[in-house]
């Protein structure tokens, strides 16, 4: 079933509306996209553990090695906002083939890379494909899945988003200890190629693409806007933090880079928004901001931003606290956070069924209270906290987050007209990326600065580390408080999918 939506300045666009029952063919496409997204996220989560090995094997500095992550984040921040236009401009099949081809090519380059420069290029190519996969998955899911089953299907998306980070570090550790870092990419490459081949055969088009020309100025402004902000955030806390002349110079350089990047990013982002408001009048925007005309979408996106800031910031601090304060190994750290990740993933389908039947309030209110409560519990942790208490709190926090993520994903996109799904998915991914980067930078800076101050005041290394972790967890807990209030205002949209009137 399709509905026709003809907008000024564009050709007729046919929007696929979901049928009452998901067909086997459509279900197969969604599972394929879930698998592709799983591989992409798995690839990213394996890299954190590999950084120390890369420093030694490639003979590079820690700052250079960090660029393997920073470049990936920057590329994601630049490409994700463009993905909404790409999904409108090109066929679903073409976008999938391009995304998986880029990811596979980047993985192959990384596997064969003789040194750091080519490995850095490989990470950028990988990120270009990864950035498109999640918006493509979300848009396809919202287009194909009947409204009454979307929560259940979004629950399966949460499995992908939870299990990949849970498995990634463990898989990486096994490969690094046995066959070396190259095989992190060597294991992923054949899986990616199989997904590419199967997808090229199975994926079909979900509508007819528009013929609006791409606006080059919008791409440039988007790159400087989102890229500048993410790069600026990545520079927080990147200085020398010492008393010598070299450290002072590094601090000054880092501060200047931070300020310039954020100012350039903010100005470019403002111009990008102004440009989109002009172009969307003729349906030519790179990122259609009419998605924010939906109050429910706007509230859900704001909630997602705060949740991502607190969540990604906290999960960055937890491993550092476990290893530097509680003095446990990387393997033990992975085992401690594993139950929470598994619980978050396996709870997804059940949470989706609750959403389909009862809506958002029960899940969001409960989830925000649990997540905020656990973050406040983290603020009490010190160098004497038993490891089992951290494991229990981490698991409970993960369950609270699972109760929040699924309804937010579903309710936000379901609030939009089908022709805006791709743009909504792009906005959702962009907010997650930027808020996550802000959370990581903020928590890491607070952790480092408070720990350094405590050390200067004569505290032991363990006590100083605990003080820094407590300060970072306190900020995350404070950020989580508005989530409880916001949970009461986000609703489940009506189950009837939007059908644009002919000639609208």
| Among 24-28, 118-122, 354-358, the range of highest mean pLDDT | 118-122
Q: Could you report the per-residue pLDDT of 147-196, keeping only the tens digit for each?
A: 777 777 777 777 776 677 667 766 776 777 777 788 888 888 998 999 89
Q: What is the pLDDT of residue 165?
A: 67
296 pLDDT band, cuts 50/70/90, is: very high
Per-residue pLDDT of 76-112, as tens digits, reads: 878 888 888 888 788 888 889 999 999 999 999 999 9
Task: pLDDT band for 242, please (50, 70, 90 cuts).
Answer: low
Boundaries of every domain in the chain: 23-212, 215-285, 287-499
Say if 23-212 and 287-499 have the same CATH topology: yes
In the prediction, which pLDDT does 146 show?
A: 77
In this model, does residue 428 exceed pLDDT 50?
yes
377 compared with 58, residue with greater pLDDT: 377
The answer to whether 493 touches 297, Cβ cutoff 8 Å, is: no
Query: With the C-alpha atoms ordered 445, 379, 489, 85, is the resulting torsion angle positive or negative?
Result: positive
Average pLDDT, stretch 23-29?
78
pLDDT of residue 249: 63
Place of tokens 């949460």: 158
Structure token digits, residue 429: 């991914």
Q: Is the pLDDT of residue 353 over 90?
A: no
Higher pLDDT, 274 or 13: 274
What is the pLDDT of the chain when averaged over all its residues? 80
- Chain centroid, CA 150 distance in Å: 20
Instruction: Determine the average pLDDT of the residues in 305-334.
Output: 80
**Residue entry with tokens 């069924």:** 353
Q: What is the DSSP secondary-structure string of 426-456?
A: HHHHHHHHHHHHHHHHHHHHHHHHHHHHHHH
Instruction: Report the pLDDT value the prediction gives residue 49, as an integer from 0 to 100.
Output: 66
Please give the CATH architecture assigned to the domain spanning 23-212: Up-down Bundle (1.20)
Question: Cβ distance 158 to 76 under 8 Å?
Answer: no
pLDDT attached to residue 9: 38
Residue 117 CB neighbour total at 10 angstroms? 11
pTM given for the model: 0.76
Query: Residue 14 forms beta bridges with which residues?
Result: 4
Could you please state the CATH topology (level 3) that the domain comprising 287-499 is classified under: Growth Hormone; Chain: A; (1.20.1250)
pLDDT of residue 266: 92
At 303, the pLDDT band (50, 70, 90 cuts) reads very high
Q: Which residues contact 149 (CB under 8 A, 6 or more apart)?
A: 22, 356
């Amino acid at each position: 079933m399709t509905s026709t939506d003809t907008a000024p300045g564009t050709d007729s666009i046919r929007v696929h509306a979901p049928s009452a029952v998901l067909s086997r063919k459509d279900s197969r496409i969604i599972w394929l996209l879930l698998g592709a997204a799983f591989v992409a996220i798995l690839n990213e989560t394996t890299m954190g553990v590999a950084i120390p090995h890369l420093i030694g094997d490639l003979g590079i500095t820690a700052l250079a090695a960090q660029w393997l992550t920073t470049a990936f984040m920057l590329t994601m921040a630049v490409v994700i906002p463009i993905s909404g236009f790409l999904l409108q401009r090109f066929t679903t099949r073409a976008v999938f083939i391009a995304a998986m081809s880029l990811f596979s090519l980047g993985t192959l380059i990384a596997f064969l890379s003789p040194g750091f420069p080519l490995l850095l290029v490989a990470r950028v190519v990988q990120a270009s494909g990864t950035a498109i996969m999640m918006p493509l998955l979300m848009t396809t899911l919202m287009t194909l899945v009947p409204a009454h089953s979307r929560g259940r299907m979004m629950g399966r998306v949460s499995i992908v988003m939870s299990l990949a980070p849970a498995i990634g570090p463990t898989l990486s550790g096994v490969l690094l200890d046995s066959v070396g870092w190259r095989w992190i990419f060597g294991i992923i490459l054949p899986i990616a190629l199989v997904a590419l081949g199967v997808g090229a055969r199975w994926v079909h088009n979900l509508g007819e693409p528009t013929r609006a020309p791409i606006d080059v100025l919008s791409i440039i402004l988007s790159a400087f806007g989102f890229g500048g902000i993410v790069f600026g955030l990545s520079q927080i806390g990147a200085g020398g933090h010492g008393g010598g002349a070299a450290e002072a110079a590094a601090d000054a350089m880092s501060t200047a880079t931070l300020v310039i990047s954020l100012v350039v990013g903010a100005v470019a982002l403002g111009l990008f928004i102004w440009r989109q408001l002009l172009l969307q009048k003729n349906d030519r925007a790179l990122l259609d901001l009419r998605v924010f005309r939906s109050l429910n979408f706007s509230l859900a996106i704001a909630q997602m931003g705060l949740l991502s800031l607190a969540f990604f910031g906290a999960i960055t601090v937890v491993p550092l606290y476990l290893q530097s304060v509680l003095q446990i190994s990387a393997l033990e750290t992975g085992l401690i956070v594993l139950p929470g990740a598994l619980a978050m993933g396996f709870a997804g389908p059940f949470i989706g069924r609750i959403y389909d039947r009862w809506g958002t309030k029960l899940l969001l209110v409960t989830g925000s209270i649990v997540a905020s409560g656990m973050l406040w519990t983290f603020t009490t942790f010190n160098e004497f906290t038993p490891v089992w208490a951290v494991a229990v709190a981490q698991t409970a926090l993960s369950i609270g987050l699972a109760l929040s993520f699924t309804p937010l994903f579903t309710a936000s996109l379901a609030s939009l007209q089908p022709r805006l799904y791709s743009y909504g998915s792009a906005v959702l991914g962009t907010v997650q990326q930027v808020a996550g980067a802000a959370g990581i930078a903020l928590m890491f800076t607070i952790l480092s600065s408070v720990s350094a101050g405590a050390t200067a005041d004569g505290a032991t290394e363990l006590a100083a580390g605990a003080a820094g972790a407590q300060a970072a967890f306190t900020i995350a807990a404070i950020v989580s408080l508005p989530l409880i209030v916001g949970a009461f205002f986000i609703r489940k949209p009506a189950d009837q999918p939007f059908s644009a009137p002919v000639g609208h």
